[in-house]
Amino acid sequence: MILGISGDEAVALAAKQCNVDVVAAYPITPQTIIVEKFSEYVANGETQAEYVRVESEHSAMSACVGASARGARTFTATSSQGLMLMHEILYVASGMRLPIVMANVNRAISSPINIHADHADSMAVRDSGWIQLSCVDAQEAYDTTIMAFKIAEETLLPVMVLLDGFVISHTLQNVSTLSDEQILNFIGNERKSENILDPENPKTFGAMVLPDYYSEIKMQQIEAMDESKKVIENTFKEFGDLTGRRYPLVESYKTDDAEHILLCMGSAFGTAKVVVDDMRAEGKKVGVSRVKCYRPFAGNEVREAIKNAKSVGVADRVAPFGSYPPLYLDTKASCDGINLKSFVYGLGGRDVNKDTIKEVFDRLEKGVDEMFVGVRE
């Protein structure tokens, strides 16, 4: 069925169709539509899930930890300050290997307060042990939410689905949906639960671990994150076989012969494709790639995508303080010998339009090493 829905609504619908047991969430712009939609599903008896209307995001993630440890298929959603408030418990969730799925609707962080698209929030928690999958539109947000449950439950790692505030969260799009049956056949009807809080088989979760074991436990988590890449790829492939919608870890557009490539994340990719077409019509060899699988960082795939370019502009939607921004740093660490330039655009919802993207390509062509794009003097 094709529905004209926003990115937020697509995420809420996907979570409901995934037969979640527990949702614990707190409203925050621009995530709010997700919790409102889910509340409607609960109020109308369209889901049997328990919705815990917590009093803060810290408690939202804490309740998710409790529910997931008990064996529930668990979902939450947040943005910006909410993700900041959850920060501490994100590590608890990943350290306990709890397969929680969370949509983070990317929004700038205070101060100054700003409710619009910016990647500072999810980038600030990129090393919290969560898989991070970035989306370009509502369709992908829907699809990725579904795949996230499968990936989380297979890897026992929590998964964050990232969608740009307003640009994706509030923009209506025709979204091709699946039936509940198709989805549950794909992800499993309910969570397979072995390591859970079970009165029949008592286990201790969240023990005190001292220097004699801490490193080994962290190594298991590090290995699980490294190995998750294979599970993510397989899940993307199976989902592609089911729906025809194929998601690579790194998606590229007209990069094969490109001299200059823009590497980005999120909704900017759509705009960039249009700019690439425009510039190609003028005979300029440009292309664009975007990182879908940001954690674990798809470094090999990024390198493959950009290795033949004369120069690559890595565009971050994050204000860097005292160093380079995160996507650039990750790319730099994976792409030794490739000519990379760091760009920053779109802070606090500053429109990333065709001119913005074109400016990046122009600077690449001219070799202008100037980081900030679209900022007034």
The DSSP call for residue 372 is B
Q: Which is nearer to other proteins, 113 or 217 (CB)?
A: 217
Q: Which is nearer to other proteins, 206 or 367 (CB)?
A: 206
62 is a contact residue toward other proteins (CB under 8 A): yes
Q: What SS3 class is residue 8?
A: helix
Per-residue binder mask for other proteins (CB under 8 A), 165-204, x = binder: --------------------------------xxxxxxxx
Please provide residue 138's backbone torsions phi and psi, each rounded to the nearest 5 degrees.
-65, -40
User: In angstroms, what is the minimal distance from the CB of 43 to other proteins?
Assistant: 15
Q: What angle do CA 368, 374, 377 make, to 5 degrees?
A: 85
Burial degree of 78 (CB within 10 A; 0-12, 13-18, 19+): buried
Please list, in sequence order, all residues whose beta carbon lies within 8 angstroms of the beta carbon of residue 301, skipping any fewer than 6 positions away.
Answer: 248, 249, 250, 293
Segment 91-130, which members bind other proteins (CB under 8 A)? Answer: 92
Containing 224, the helix (H) or strand (E) segment is helix 214-243
Q: Whose CA is closest to 355, among 244, 274, 280?
A: 274
Q: Which is nearer to other proteins, 72 or 261 (CB)?
A: 72
357 is a contact residue toward other proteins (CB under 8 A): no
Q: Which is nearer to other proteins, 63 or 167 (CB)?
A: 63
**Count of positions on this chain that bind other proteins (CB under 8 A):** 45
CB 317 within 8 A of CB 346: yes
The DSSP call for residue 30 is T
Q: Whose CA is closest to 79, among 144, 111, 48, 34?
A: 34
Q: Which is nearer to other proteins, 24 or 264 (CB)?
A: 24
Per-residue binder mask for other proteins (CB under 8 A), 17-56, x = binder: ----xx-x-----------------------xxx-xxxxx
Please list, in sequence order, all residues whose beta carbon lies within 8 angstroms of the beta carbon of residue 198, skipping any fewer than 6 positions away.
Answer: 71
CA distance 72 to 64: 9
Segment 196-255, which members bind other proteins (CB under 8 A)? Answer: 197-210, 213, 217
Q: Which is nearer to other proteins, 39 or 308 (CB)?
A: 39
Residue of 7, 30, 71, 296 interacting with other proteins (CB under 8 A): 71
Q: Which is nearer to other proteins, 63 or 249 (CB)?
A: 63
CA distance 148 to 371: 33
Residue of 12, 15, 25, 67 interacting with other proteins (CB under 8 A): 67
Is beta strand 286-291 parallel, antiparallel or unpaired with respect to 22-25?
unpaired
The piece of 69-77, 160-168, 175-183, 295-303 that touches other proteins (CB under 8 A) is: 69-77
Residue of 5, 10, 35, 65 interacting with other proteins (CB under 8 A): 65
CA 140 to chain CA mean position, Å? 11
Q: Which is nearer to other proteins, 52 or 133 (CB)?
A: 52
Residue of 72, 157, 309, 347 interacting with other proteins (CB under 8 A): 72
Question: Which residue ranges make up the site for other proteins (CB under 8 A)?
Answer: 21-22, 24, 48-50, 52-56, 58-60, 62-72, 74, 88-89, 92, 197-210, 213, 217
